A and B are shown apart, each in its own frame.
Chain A
């Protein structure tokens, strides 16, 4: 399955395709692509503040993208990174607001709560798949919506922060905030966690027996099963770990950026992550690069809207097209005919 999903021409072609599609969409909006890109790039990379914001977006995209890729490599469609991210954020937000302990205790607990929340949510889909053979695509789609409803119910209802204006939990104590990488920015050490995770995952896939088993389950389930790889356990573990990665990402947004859980935590990172994972060819290191590229899009889109009058939603549109265009490039390589 994953071999089919790897854009065969690689990430460079992917990036070029993206730019061309984006330009076309800007023309469609009646704006000059040059002005649009200029505004986008200025907004994303025009100064230290812009760069730090882009890196914040990069971080937010990186975790769910790694999550999606992790499941995909094991042959599972995790369309539910969005819901896992939300659940992770929710658990982290609740834990963070409740914990009155020093930061060096609280922060690991908050991040763990996030990962656990995501793992539980991914794990539900994993159990359905492993135990009942239920299609994980449908399961994760449903779980996304259930997560949103649950978060909304809790945050608007019983757990609504008395001091809050929006649908959010109470603010985390300052000591529980993730340390910043740059002063006066929103960029926290979460970026470093993400890079470390990407590098570790690359190692897991390339060199470990665990990664080997996951890839075998994804690329040739029947052969893997006969080689003693337990497909049910693999499905469960892969979905839970994938969820944990996404949930951890949600926790970093809570502890590093918003400092509380808000229902508007994610503008669809979990869905965009599918595009990022594909652009990155499901390779954790390339996903790092792809997350930065998509981070530029996310953070530059507002400036593009303000200065070049291109509605920011063009970015979502382009991301959708990117998925289609990139996925289309597979299969083009000729297959040798068997007899």
Chain B
């Protein structure tokens, strides 16, 4: 059926924002920041893209604005977590609320109407394709950067033991903040793809939890860019499959829930779990302890 080609292309379209967000999540976690504000970063990216395209008539400027918006949001997380000692999860939750409230509020301020923006100039089919390709190129590039460049080495070290990074004469705060900046840019592009690539409007709640699916993809991808992109692609295919199976009577909610259910399964480690970076989510001045340690260590002694 020609719908197979349609399925593949729909999968790619559905996967692309997830790939961007998952790469953003990976780079943050490798540097030791558990970025739950990805959802917010996608949201502000999608909104900024449409707002700027609306104001200037240029979707390219819109894309640019999305990058800046994503950077602003994620860098706030990085700065709050490294300079002000705010707990990463708390800060991430705050930023998500901030993004949701700010964009809903912005819709009224910029477009004078709540709920959704009017149609604006979008990136078009060419732009959409370019971003799809860019997402997968970014995965390879990021993998190479992480594995082979000095910055990549510092990021990896920072996610494992920031104190060692400091002893080596590198400021781990800077490393973590730059990681959030890179992540913000990626997530911003992901957001712009949602509003200006796939569609030509912004509407409240359009990110629909993709930032959280991305976190699941990071775990599935075992904290590597290529793995995360692969997982994001699989999740994209799942959501494309939803349109096919819906006609067969499978509830769409079940299909939508699959990535989240899969993420829960990943947390059990039954499907095989790699070790998370030791200092993932750990503030800079604390010695990292493995997340799994608590559960393992507290095994009641029965001898055997």
Interface residues of A (CB under 8 A from B): 4-5, 25, 29-30, 77, 79, 124, 128-135, 137-139, 141-143, 145-146, 149-150, 152-153, 157, 221, 225, 230-232, 235, 268, 271-272, 274-275, 278, 311, 313-324, 327-328, 330-331
B244-273 residues with Cβ-Cβ distance < 8 A to A are 251, 253-254, 256-257, 260-261, 263-264, 267-269
Chain B proximity of A32: nearest CB distance (Å): 15
- Chain B neighbourhood of A331, CB < 8 A: 84-85
Report the interface size for chain B: residues with CB under 8 A from the other chain: 56
Determine whether the beta carbon of A130 is less than 8 Å from that of B295.
Answer: yes
Is B114 in the interface zone, CB < 8 Å from A?
yes
A131 to B295, CA, bound (A): 7
Partner of A132, one of B94, B97, B269, B276: B269
Determine whether the beta carbon of B215 is less than 8 Å from that of A311.
Answer: no
Determine whether the beta carbon of A311 is less than 8 Å from that of B109.
Answer: yes
Determine whether the beta carbon of B94 is less than 8 Å from that of A321.
Answer: yes
- Chain B neighbourhood of A152, CB < 8 A: 253
Partner of A324, one of B34, B80, B85: B80
Question: Which residue of chain B lies nearest to A1 when distances are taken between CB atoms in the complex?
Answer: B87
Determine whether the beta carbon of B108 is less than 8 Å from that of A128.
Answer: no
Determine whether the beta carbon of A322 is less than 8 Å from that of B94.
Answer: yes
Determine whether the beta carbon of A29 is less than 8 Å from that of B105.
Answer: yes
Partner of A230, one of B80, B268, B281, B300: B300
Partner of B212, one of A131, A141, A320, A324: A141
Determine whether the beta carbon of A311 is less than 8 Å from that of B267.
Answer: no
B283-299 residues with Cβ-Cβ distance < 8 A to A are 283, 291-299
Enumerate 24 A-B pairs (CB-CB under 8 Å) in ascending A order: A30-B109, A128-B264, A133-B296, A137-B281, A141-B215, A142-B212, A142-B263, A143-B260, A146-B261, A150-B253, A153-B253, A157-B251, A232-B299, A235-B294, A235-B295, A271-B97, A274-B93, A311-B114, A313-B100, A313-B102, A314-B105, A317-B105, A321-B98, A323-B94
- Chain B neighbourhood of A4, CB < 8 A: 85, 87, 283
Determine whether the beta carbon of B253 is less than 8 Å from that of A149.
Answer: yes
Is B278 in the interface zone, CB < 8 Å from A?
no
Partner of A320, one of B94, B216, B295, B296: B94
| Given A134-B267, A321-B98, 8 other A-B residues pairs in contact with their CB atoms under 8 A | A132-B267, A137-B34, A152-B253, A231-B294, A278-B90, A317-B102, A317-B105, A323-B97
5 smallest beta-carbon distances between A and B, as pairs: A316-B101, A320-B98, A323-B94, A134-B267, A320-B97
Determine whether the beta carbon of B98 is less than 8 Å from that of A132.
Answer: no
Interface residues of B (CB under 8 A from A): 34, 36, 76, 80, 84-87, 89-91, 93-102, 104-105, 108-109, 114, 209, 212, 215-216, 219, 251, 253-254, 256-257, 260-261, 263-264, 267-269, 276, 281, 283, 291-300
Partner of B260, one of A79, A128, A145, A321: A145
Determine whether the beta carbon of A135 is less than 8 Å from that of B209.
Answer: no
Determine whether the beta carbon of A128 is less than 8 Å from that of B268.
Answer: yes
Determine whether the beta carbon of B36 is less than 8 Å from that of A141.
Answer: yes
Determine whether the beta carbon of B294 is less than 8 Å from that of A221.
Answer: yes
Partner of B295, one of A132, A137, A143: A132
- Chain A neighbourhood of B267, CB < 8 A: 128, 132, 134-135, 138-139
A5 to B86, CA, bound (A): 8
- Chain B neighbourhood of A30, CB < 8 A: 109
Determine whether the beta carbon of A328 is less than 8 Å from that of B80.
Answer: yes
Given A133-B293, A133-B295, A221-B294, A275 and B36 touching (CB < 8 A)? Answer: no
- Chain B neighbourhood of A232, CB < 8 A: 294-295, 298-299
Determine whether the beta carbon of A316 is less than 8 Å from that of B97.
Answer: yes
